[in-house]
A and B are shown apart, each in its own frame.
Chain A
């Protein structure tokens, strides 16, 4: 029999409502798992088991009284430490916010609280969401539950590892260039980056404002649809949030994909793909055909420039977004002889190497005399990429690619080579630049490590995206779990 900590959220929701299990039992199962594996996996920066216990008890009380405590009630959740949680430290994986306790909840957090959220803890991440391996966390790396010598991906590596290791049932991540999808892919999970503007960014500590989105990391597509419907929707506090009527993401899930048109951008199937990844994706293309979809290779020529454009735009915005961490009002302060010295010492001690690298890159890209050649040019490339996607979606319902060119790599393997690390996001970055939604689902193993299939959809067409993902999930039939021995199975 399966342990409770291994169940899907929707299964637990049903069991809770049938009174076959209590929220406290579920939480205790997950807590036991945390006690057993957290020391090795290190998914969390802050554990909030006390708060979770209270939420679970409230859920049980409500159920006992015949009230519905909300869909999120009693389902242990990991929240990436980049989302503000009132009264609970929110560090962004950085020394500079090590002792920072927000006075307000992010909009997604307050929405989930209203639905009964049972939060296990704040998940580890690359500092300020900058990285692809969670090795850039100031509080030490998280390990991949499938192979403890390997990274869980990043920057939402803690969220993905927690769900994969059974330390949470589902999780929230954030995705600026692939930070939900790539760790989901590395950990054999489902991860969705919604359309830019579908989910409120209020309370999501900004990395690159025009690219950041909050999204779910879950064990299957149904959970993903459920969690998305709990966090999506217009927010007056976020001017970039879209005012749209939300469809039901769950109802259409089983609709199938017969007659759909699937495009495969040539640019995302080029060099750097490991043989296993290529094989898995190609098998998926056959499955698409078997399910009655039409599959065609296509081209989005400007995707070749996406990585370059991204590494100008994202650092430029980051250099400005991170300027507020100066030691004046909150967070770390290292005293100096005068104000400028205090700024310098605080930021030197508070930020890690990758964050500093990106602040410098971004500052340079925005500097007088360089703006047009770098930031300005990158924005033009972004417009061209958007045009490529728009044209492609006139012909195709979805586009597919690998999520990452490789499965999870070893800890330390790319730490010294930022460019190699950046290439890990080559397939996911164009999606953020275009603002479209994309999902990663597990589609096989290479040498015992999960491989992810990325499905990209039209703006605000998450419903179709999830339907396609659900059909493929069924066809792929990925049932593998982290192994014992090198992993934490």
Chain B
């Protein structure tokens, strides 16, 4: 696909931390709310205010940095990043610069082609900005008569995670983001909702001749609001750059905006982004000193991470690698699976249902596992009905459909619909006799060696019972009964 070139991709990720209050004041940090209701003099940057660091934000940042195998700086400082933008109340952002909280980590991924490691350059803490609403039809600044500012989000703690340029394909980028999101969910550091902006990702992309270790001219891609957008934007950008290079052109270093509707990246006016941020140490905060004891305390409280969980799912439940990977792709998915197993479901059966019918249902409706009406113990109950032969697999699927809509207990659904399987031998034998009497010609065909005729007869029994007859028993009885005549 890539011909003579390979892509070099690095990601810069921003995740809002799940703290109750904002990074430097006690305002509510939750998403949404009437504009400018979650604000105070500090996060509005009124004259004279000072920041006070949120301890919980530091704890969550250390958690993630440790999970990404970073070295935690025992002493780090905050810097001011200076630039004018109306959604930034102080016209500087309190961020970290040359002494970030976490440095030099990595994240290991499992791909179809084998294991793959992405280096983590740094993890740092900073504050989020407010939100500008442009009053134009398109919602973009161009052509808007005026703009409004909502500072509810201003000052919400943000984690910035920067990777090494170790990523080579859009697929790897997507995998990395999925794994990172899953880790953050397991750690409970962020809600990771891309659509609410609590997880955001920018990418640096360049191309170089395959086999070369040099670096080409890179572009920075912004506004990728979903994993799919990330994949498609990178795919587009790589093709765009390759075309330029193949035609002897030069890639321009610039920031480009992913337009999901048009499926293209377009350059942002370079003037707007040609900033010199004039970083300098934030004089209103003292250096952040994290003693070893604190770091070790956080380390020992780290929960099981997705990679560990995948391994455990394989070893403890004997699941295939593919199942284990999918089930631990999100914390909620893994938790659901384990609850179903705890409620008595055989692991492989639970996995099949979750990755089959349930995933299909969620995907079709754009829902998350958390939105599911079927509780894990009810899924376990359904599986039990199948295992015990009370319902056939086909029927169970129909029961599940009803459960997905109503969340009802499977036993209830089965009873109400009279769906229980007929496994009563005497009754089945009686039905078989009726069918044999009505189809003498078919019986004859069978006896002449036409094996297919048996299937037809089984089908007749099933039809009479509206599919409730236990098909294995019916074939067995039929075969036995027809064999007698020989």
Contacts and interface: CB of A to CB of B under 8 A. Distances in A.
Contacts of A240: 50, 283-286
B333 to A, nearest CB: 41
B50 A210 contact: no
Contacts of B278: 319-320, 363, 366-368, 371
A343 B52 CA distance: 29
A323 B45 CA distance: 10
A175 interface: no
Interface in B48-64: 48-53
Contacts of A97: 47
A326 B280 contact: no
Interface in B133-158: 147, 149
B87 to A, nearest CB: 9
Interface stretch (B88-96, B161-169, B418-426): B88-96
B82 A206 contact: no
A102 B283 contact: no
Contacts of B285: 239-240
A193 to B, nearest CB: 17
A324 B280 contact: no
Contacts of B51: 239
Contacts of A237: 50, 52
B199 to A, nearest CB: 28
Nearest to B83: A323
A280 B198 CA distance: 65
B14 interface: no
A326 B84 contact: yes
Range, interface on chain A: 35 or more
Given A239-B53, A323-B91, A324-B91, A84 B47 contact: yes
Contacts of A204: 48
A317 B91 contact: no
B47 A92 contact: yes
Contacts of B89: 324, 329
Report which residue of B50, B84, B90, B149 has the largest number of chain A beta carbons within 10 angstroms of its beta carbon: B50
A103 B42 CA distance: 11
B280 A371 contact: yes
A329 B36 CA distance: 12
B146 to A, nearest CB: 10
A102 B46 contact: yes
Contacts, number: 96
B86 A339 contact: yes
B91 to A, nearest CB: 4
Given A239-B284, A375-B280, A323 B50 contact: no
Contacts of B279: 366, 371
B412 to A, nearest CB: 57
Interface string A46-63: 000000000000000000
A84 B48 CA distance: 7
Contacts of A210: 283
Interface in B25-44: 41, 44
Contacts of B45: 324, 329
B157 to A, nearest CB: 16
Is the contact region of chain A dominated by helix, strand, or loop, or is it mixed?
A: loop
B331 interface: no
Contacts of B82: 319-320, 323, 366
A62 to B, nearest CB: 30
A102 B49 CA distance: 11
A447 to B, nearest CB: 39
A378 to B, nearest CB: 11
Interface in B279-314: 279-280, 283-286
A238 interface: yes
B80 interface: yes
A317 B90 CA distance: 13
B284 A209 contact: yes
A328 B286 CA distance: 29
Contacts of B147: 339
B280 A239 contact: no
Interface string A168-210: 0000000000000000000000000000000001111110111
Contacts of A239: 50-53, 284-286
Given A239-B286, A366-B82, A316 B50 contact: no
B47 A320 contact: no
A224 to B, nearest CB: 24
Contact of B50 (A92, A202, A328): A202
Contacts of A349: none
A316 B41 CA distance: 24
Contacts of B44: 329
A202 B283 contact: no
A319 B92 CA distance: 11
Q: Which 4 A-B pairs have the closest CB atoms?
A: A323-B91, A366-B278, A209-B283, A210-B283
19 contacts: A84-B46, A100-B47, A104-B41, A202-B49, A202-B50, A205-B48, A206-B48, A208-B283, A237-B52, A239-B51, A240-B285, A323-B82, A324-B89, A328-B86, A328-B149, A329-B89, A330-B46, A367-B276, A368-B278
Interface of B: 41, 44-53, 80, 82, 84, 86, 89-92, 147, 149, 276, 278-280, 283-286
Interface of A: 83-84, 90, 92, 97, 100, 102-104, 106, 201-206, 208-210, 236-240, 316-317, 319-320, 323-324, 326, 328-330, 339, 343, 363, 366-368, 371, 375
Given A239-B51, A323-B92, A324-B91, 6 more contacts: A83-B48, A97-B47, A209-B284, A239-B286, A324-B47, A339-B86
